[in-house]
């Protein structure tokens, strides 16, 4: 019997030559659905593999941490905005010794399971599981996996092909993975993220607003900036111990404000860009509105834990150090289960509490009518040492 072959195809990819020789009876004579099923599956995988764009490498820097990010263009289209959102800047790739990390993001048809023996280390808010094994921290789910290797200075990410093909599914998964990994990496540089805002009057007089979303942090911060205060961030900051003093550094520069905030801040009228983490809030490029007031660091002297209330006039009340430490820990974006890392983070938070005056703020209707009037409550707090 003579079998007429299909045309031979030579395909060059990355220096390799693929030789496709498909007998015609596979197309026309095969009756087994198994053969047809696996042939079509193989062809789909093969076609996608040979058409996969070559990965590219880019460099980004934040607080001395340099990332060497390698991924395909389609993944980079999602990753770069996330890094920009967190304040990373494009870098030439040079870094001090030990400051560089390799980030390798691959698209896979199946996600590799975590190694046998990996121990649970918690649950991420995205639903992805945290595990630890042989010094590597894993963020794992059926659609993605991230391996954080501190000793190797590597972050390896696997993304399921189907997820990459759907931007609506890719963006939140990639956001959670990248953000989590960044916090883990930066913690290894003694930078600890806190859900809070930071303003200052000079580098030595900083005030932190620490608390959950929708407690007025962003509105009060924006109001103070309009009154001439310098700012670091309205939502997320780092604290870092340096020469026995704890300093604050910015994590995200852009402010997130409610859509009706233009009633207080007319310059926001027409803003239509939304926050990456909360699509119900405006993303405000405050560095474009007040370019001379952004600060790279400050020393916190006061910590405010705000809460919106319905009382007529706002009230400040002092908080003890133990209670303040507990409130701070609730707002830490990431606490590693590694004993040494957790101990170092706790030491920094304790130092922060000791150097600051500590208050709860019951924000009343007076601040709702005029958020900037919080300045009258804050200025007296910057005088003197913490109690």
Instruction: Report pLDDT digits (tens) over 277-298.
Output: 666 778 888 888 899 999 999 9
Tokens 């009518």 — which residue? 369
- Lookup: tokens for 60: 């980004």
154 forms beta bridges with: 102, 149
State CA 287 to chain mean position distance.
Answer: 19
Q: How many residues are present in the chain?
A: 387
Rounded Cα distance between 307 and 180, Å, is 27
pLDDT at 33 > cutoff 70: no
Q: Which of 338, 249, 328 is nearest to 296 (CA)?
A: 249
pLDDT at 209 > cutoff 50: yes
pLDDT at 27 > cutoff 60: no
State CA 310 to chain mean position distance.
Answer: 33
Rounded Cα distance between 228 and 292, Å, is 10
**Which pLDDT band, with edges at 50, 70 and 90, does 111 fall under?**
very high
Domain ranges of the chain: 9-50, 56-187, 192-382
pLDDT at 201 > cutoff 60: yes
**Ranges 33-42, 119-128, 157-166: which has the least confidence:** 33-42
Cβ atoms of 312 and 363 closer than 8 Å: no
- Lookup: tokens for 248: 């604050």
CATH architecture of 192-382: 3-Layer(aba) Sandwich (3.40)
Which is higher by pLDDT, 122 or 40? 122
Rounded Cα distance between 24 and 376, Å, is 84
Q: Strand, helix or coil at 264? A: coil
What pLDDT score was predicted for residue 174?
Answer: 85
**Count of beta carbons in the 10 Å neighbourhood of residue 169:** 14
Rounded Cα distance between 84 and 104, Å, is 18
**Which pLDDT band, with edges at 50, 70 and 90, does 112 fall under?**
very high
Rounded Cα distance between 173 and 158, Å, is 11
Q: Which of 163, 122, 57 is nearest to 332 (CA)?
A: 122
CB burial of 217-243 (b: ≥16 within 10 Å; e: otherwise) equals bbbbbbbbbbeebbbbbbbbbbbbbee
pLDDT at 28 > cutoff 60: no
Tokens 């087994």 — which residue? 32
Mean residue pLDDT of the chain comes to 81
Q: What is the mean pLDDT of residues 318-347?
A: 88
Cβ atoms of 225 and 267 closer than 8 Å: no
**Which pLDDT band, with edges at 50, 70 and 90, does 91 fall under?**
confident
Give the model confidence (pLDDT) of 223-282 as tens digits. 999 999 999 988 889 999 988 999 999 987 788 888 788 888 888 877 767 666 666 778
321-330 and 339-355 helices cross at what angle (nearest 10)? 130
Q: Which of 289, 312, 295 is nearest to 363 (CA)?
A: 312
DSSP string, 287-319: HHHSTT-B-S-B-EEEEEEEEE---SS-EEEE-
What pLDDT score was predicted for residue 44?
Answer: 45
pTM exceeds cut of 0.85? no
Residues contacting 121, CB < 8 A, separation 6+? 130, 131, 132, 137, 337
Give the model confidence (pLDDT) of 334-358 as tens digits. 766 678 888 999 999 999 999 999 9
What pLDDT score was predicted for residue 168?
Answer: 79
Report the percentage of the chain scoring pLDDT > 90. Answer: 42
Cβ atoms of 60 and 88 closer than 8 Å: yes
Report the percentage of the chain scoring pLDDT > 70. Answer: 80
What pLDDT score was predicted for residue 305?
Answer: 97
Q: What is the mean pLDDT of residues 133-161?
A: 88
């Amino acid at each position: 019997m003579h079998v007429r072959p299909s045309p031979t195809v030579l395909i060059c990819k990355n220096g390799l030559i693929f030789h496709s020789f498909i007998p015609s009876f596979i197309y026309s004579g095969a009756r087994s659905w198994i053969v047809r099923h696996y042939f079509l599956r193989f062809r789909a995988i093969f076609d996608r593999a040979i058409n996969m764009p070559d990965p590219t490498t880019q460099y980004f820097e934040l607080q001395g941490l340099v990332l060497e990010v390698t991924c395909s263009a389609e993944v980079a289209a999602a990753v770069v905005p996330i890094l920009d959102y967190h304040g990373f800047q494009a870098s030439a790739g040079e870094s001090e010794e030990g400051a560089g990390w390799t980030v390798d993001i691959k698209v896979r048809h199946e996600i590799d399971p975590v190694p046998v023996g990996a121990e649970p280390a918690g649950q991420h808010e995205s639903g992805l599981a945290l595990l630890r094994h042989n010094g590597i921290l894993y963020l794992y789910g059926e659609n993605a996996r991230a391996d954080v290797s501190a000793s190797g200075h590597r972050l390896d990410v696997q993304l399921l092909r189907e997820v990459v093909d759907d931007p609506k599914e890719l963006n939140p998964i990639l956001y959670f993975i990248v953000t989590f990994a960044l916090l883990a990496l930066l913690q290894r540089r003694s930078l600890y993220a806190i859900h809070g805002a930071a303003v200052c009057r000079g580098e030595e007089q900083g005030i932190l607003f620490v608390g959950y979303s929708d407690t007025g942090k962003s509105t009060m911060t924006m109001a103070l900036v309009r009154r001439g205060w310098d700012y670091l961030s309205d939502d997320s900051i780092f604290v870092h111990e340096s020469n026995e003093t704890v300093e604050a550094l910015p994590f995200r520069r852009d402010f997130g404000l409610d859509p009706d905030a233009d009633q207080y801040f007319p310059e926001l009228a027409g803003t239509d860009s939304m926050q990456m983490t909360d699509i119900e809030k405006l993303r405000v490029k405050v560095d474009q509105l007040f370019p001379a007031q952004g600060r790279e660091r400050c020393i916190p002297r006061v910590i405010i834990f705000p809460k919106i209330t319905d009382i007529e006039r706002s009230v400040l009340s002092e908080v003890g150090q133990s209670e303040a430490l507990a409130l701070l820990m609730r707002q830490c974006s990431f606490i590693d289960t590694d004993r040494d890392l957790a101990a170092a983070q706790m030491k920094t938070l304790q130092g922060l509490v000791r150097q600051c005056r500590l208050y709860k703020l019951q924000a009343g209707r007076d601040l709702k009518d005029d958020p900037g009037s919080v300045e009258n409550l804050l200025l007296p707090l910057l005088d003197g040492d913490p109690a």
